[in-house]
Structure 1
Amino acid sequence: MNSTIKVIAFDADDTLWVNETYFREAEHKFAKLLEGYETENKIDQELFKTEIDNLVYYGYGVKGFMLSMVQCALELSNYKINPKVIQEIITIGKEMLDKPIELLDGVEETLQKLHGKYKLIVATKGDLLDQERKLERSGILQYFHHVEVMSEKKVKDYKRLVKHLDINPNELLMVGNSLKSDVLPLLEIGAEAIHIPFHTTWAHEKVSKEQKEAVEYKTLASITEILNFL
């Protein structure tokens, strides 16, 4: 690993704590509510399409997901959906926002050992209020020097982050579960990146086999393994 590393940035959802699992559970509940209109597979497809179309308006996070579920329910039912079902969809979203924070194995132990040796930051996508609230409830906020909630995680966004941190790209290490958001853009700007896969990946975050094979990056099974490379 590059010995010039000064800042380690961690993705939050599915890197520090469980997140995507709750979206899969919510999608299943949503499909059950609409089973009188379409098959679960078709509902999943239409919801995903609606989410992607709405990213430009709502960004990432539970609130945008909730609005996409409402829109999808209206459209699939030809606007005949019972208002009580809309209320149930809103309840699904609120339950997601109220989920307890379940830290992934080894997260706090790793942060404790890195804290003070490197500047640790969070660099995550999502809704600002929701991510701030999750960090406060997580019990690990004290380890981080800075929290950056990003609307996107593309090359230009990481260049802006590096400038904000007043460091060179090769002084930044990003740790995350998404190749598309947490690894490939970093390698492109000359930073370091470590991939720690989560067992569930949102379809929007998946990359092709060609994209994976075009670059070299380190994949670890657990966040604690980072300590062996620094």
Structure 2
Amino acid sequence: YLLAVGPSLGGMRSLEWVIAHPERVGAICTIGSSAVATADQIGAASIQIQAIKADPNFNGGDYYEQENGPIQGMAIARKIAHLTYRSEYEMDMRFGRDMQGDDTGRFAVESYLDHQGRKLQLRFDANTYICLTEAMNSHDIGRDRGGVAAALSGAQRPVVVVSIDTDRLFPVRLQEEIVELTPTALPLRQISSPFGHDGFLIEVERVGQIIRESLELTLSK
């Protein structure tokens, strides 16, 4: 492949590709990701898993023949996750302390998070959610390679690292670490966005520009 591109979990996978299979890629572009899952990330993710498993309809993961799966647990997990995906600044600017506008006495941000939970609970499988979350928790580029620094020092292909300045799930320091420890890394590319981690989904023009430039870099070699 000319270029392996990945944001978030995909960024973790692209790092694995450039270390484990350098002959398969011309370069990689990792966006809003890290070399290893942090305690903060694992902590937030573990609460999401607990919320799903605490739903009585989870039934130990064997819910496929039931009328309902763990949709309430999924909704709670999604609401927890969504807060980590967006920035504190955006949430406060959008909602502040505004009330929902009805007679429920609820804050507008609560209604917003309920909406996010409902969007996911019926279209995404709970066991798959748990599996992907645990995969992210287990990410460690340095496992069985002598540690993170040793693993990244062995990179043989260009590594483009992209950060989002308001990302609180994958803060900028994690991308700075990749650049610092990877001899083939280019200077850090930082996207300024109010949308936090989800900036990689929303800042389409900026992300697209960086990907195009990364492809041009690969083609030029």
Do these two structures clear the TM 0.5 threshold for a shared fold by scoring above it?
Answer: no
